[in-house]
Amino acid sequence: MIIVIKSGVPKNEIEEFKSKLEGKGLIVHEDFGQEYCILGLIGDTSSIDPKQIAAYNIVEKVIKVQEPFKKANRLFHPEDSLIDVNGIKIGGGNFTVIAGPCSVESEEQIVGIAEDVKRAGAGLLRGGAFKPRTSPYSFQGLRQEGLDLLKIAREKTGLPIVTEIMSADMIERFVEDVDLIQVGARNMQNFELLKELGKTNKPILLKRGLSATIEELLMSAEYIMAGGNENVILCERGIRTFETYTRNTLDLSAIPAIKRQSHLPIIIDPSHAAGMWWMVEPLSKAAVAAGADGLIIEVHNDPANALCDGQQSIKPKKFESLMSSLKEIEKFKWRFDISELGL
C-alpha cells in the first residue's frame, strides 16, 4: 500500500502518523518527491482498509498494490481449479455447457428439454424454480414444485441440475436437492447469503453483478471461500453500460482478466447478456474462442410461449448445431499460460 501525504504537512505530523502505522506491525518506507511525501507500507496490509487511511487529514491519496483477495488469487494457487459437480468437471481445461429453460414450467417441458440438450452434448441442466423478477406482478417461478420437477429431469437424464437460490433460508433444501447452486447477479453482494454458502461444500455458480467490477466478483468468491467452500465457479453475464441495443454488454475481456488473477473456472452466459436469441450463437462462439471454461445457455422448445425470457432462448435444434461448431472452435481457443506469471 502506498500513501501519498499532502504537500506542506509538517515533518512531525508525518512522523506521528508513521508511528501509528508501525504500531500495526508494518514497515514504513518514506520517499520525498518534489511536491509530495510518499509512504510505502511493507508487510501484510490486507487487514488495513485504504478508505480508513484516507480519513486522515494529512493523507492525499491511498493506493493499493496487492489484490485484496487471497484464496481466489492465482498467485497463491497457480494451477487451475477443477470443480466436480456430481461427476461433471468444470475448469482445468475442460469445456462444459449448462443448458435449459429460463423457468421450469411442467414435467413434460423440463424433461423434454433435458433430453434434447443432453443429446446435443450439454453436461448440466439449468432451470429456474425461484425467479428474481423486476416486477412483483411477473411470474415468480413454480418454486418448490419447480425444484421437484428438476429432480425428476435429473433422474431421467442423469444430468446434474443447476438452479438459483434466493435467500439463506433455502440453503438446507438446495444442498440436498441441487448439484450446483446458482447465486444470481442481483445477489452477488448479498453477503449474508455468501457467508452461509461458505459453510456448505456444494459447488456454487456465482454470477457477476450488473455493475460489479471483476475485483468485486473475486471478492464475493472470497467470501464463500473464506468460509471453507472452495468450489466456486464464476459467471460473466453482461454488465450494465450506456448501450441500450443489447440488454447488457457482454464483457468477454473478463475471461483473460480472471484467468490471470484467479484459478477459478469462468463460464459465460450469452443469453442474459444480449437478451436476444439470435445473438446467442455469435456470443457463444466468441466466448469459447476467448477461453471460457463453459457456457450457460437458455434453451426452450417453444420460446414464444415460454413463461419467461422467451426472447433470449434458442430452440433445441439450433442448440444442437451450435454445439457442434463450438467443439471445433474450442480446439483453437485461447489458453492462459501460467509461465506469464513469472512465478
Residues from 70 through 129 that contact a second copy (CB under 8 A): 75
Alpha helices, H only, 121-245: 144-157, 171-177, 191-198, 214-226
| Cα 137 to Cα 240: distance, rounded to the nearest angstrom | 24
From candidates 80, 281, 293, 294, binder to a second copy by CB under 8 A? 281
Close Cβ partners of 264 (under 8 Å, ≥ 6 residues apart):
72, 81, 91, 218, 221, 232, 233, 234, 258
Segment lying near a second copy (by CB under 8 A), choices 80-88, 110-118, 144-152, 252-260: 252-260
| Cα 340 to Cα 322: distance, rounded to the nearest angstrom | 33
Would you count residue 288 as binding a second copy (CB under 8 A)? yes
Would you count residue 168 as binding a second copy (CB under 8 A)? yes
Contact yes or no for 241/66 (Cβ under 8 A) = no
| Cα 123 to Cα 316: distance, rounded to the nearest angstrom | 15
Of 274 and 296, which has the nearer Cβ to a second copy?
274
- Minimum separation from the CB atom of position 157 to a second copy (A): 25
| Cα 212 to Cα 240: distance, rounded to the nearest angstrom | 9
From candidates 153, 250, 267, 296, binder to a second copy by CB under 8 A? 250
Would you count residue 133 as binding a second copy (CB under 8 A)? yes
Would you count residue 144 as binding a second copy (CB under 8 A)? no
- Minimum separation from the CB atom of position 3 to a second copy (A): 10
From candidates 16, 22, 63, 155, binder to a second copy by CB under 8 A? 63
- Minimum separation from the CB atom of position 291 to a second copy (A): 5
Contact yes or no for 100/127 (Cβ under 8 A) = yes
Within positions 30 to 49, which residues make up the interface with a second copy, using CB under 8 A?
31-36, 38, 40, 42-44, 46-47, 49
In 157-214, DSSP assigns E strands to: 161-165, 180-183, 204-207
Could you identify the residue written with the cell 484464496?
71
Of 86 and 246, which has the nearer Cβ to a second copy?
246
Would you count residue 19 as binding a second copy (CB under 8 A)? no
Segment lying near a second copy (by CB under 8 A), choices 83-91, 109-117, 130-138, 150-158: 130-138
Nearest to 284 by CA among 275, 299, 272, 297: 297
Would you count residue 12 as binding a second copy (CB under 8 A)? no
3-state helix, strand, coil in the chain (%, to 5): 40, 20, 40
From candidates 95, 174, 223, 319, binder to a second copy by CB under 8 A? 223
Contact code string over 172-211 relative to a second copy, x by CB under 8 A: --------------xx-xxxxx-x-------------xxx
- Minimum separation from the CB atom of position 75 to a second copy (A): 7
Would you count residue 311 as binding a second copy (CB under 8 A)? yes
| Cα 105 to Cα 308: distance, rounded to the nearest angstrom | 10
Would you count residue 285 as binding a second copy (CB under 8 A)? yes
Would you count residue 315 as binding a second copy (CB under 8 A)? no
Count residues binding a second copy (CB under 8 A): 122
Grid cell for residue 54: 484516507
Close Cβ partners of 87 (under 8 Å, ≥ 6 residues apart):
160
From candidates 19, 22, 24, 65, binder to a second copy by CB under 8 A? 65
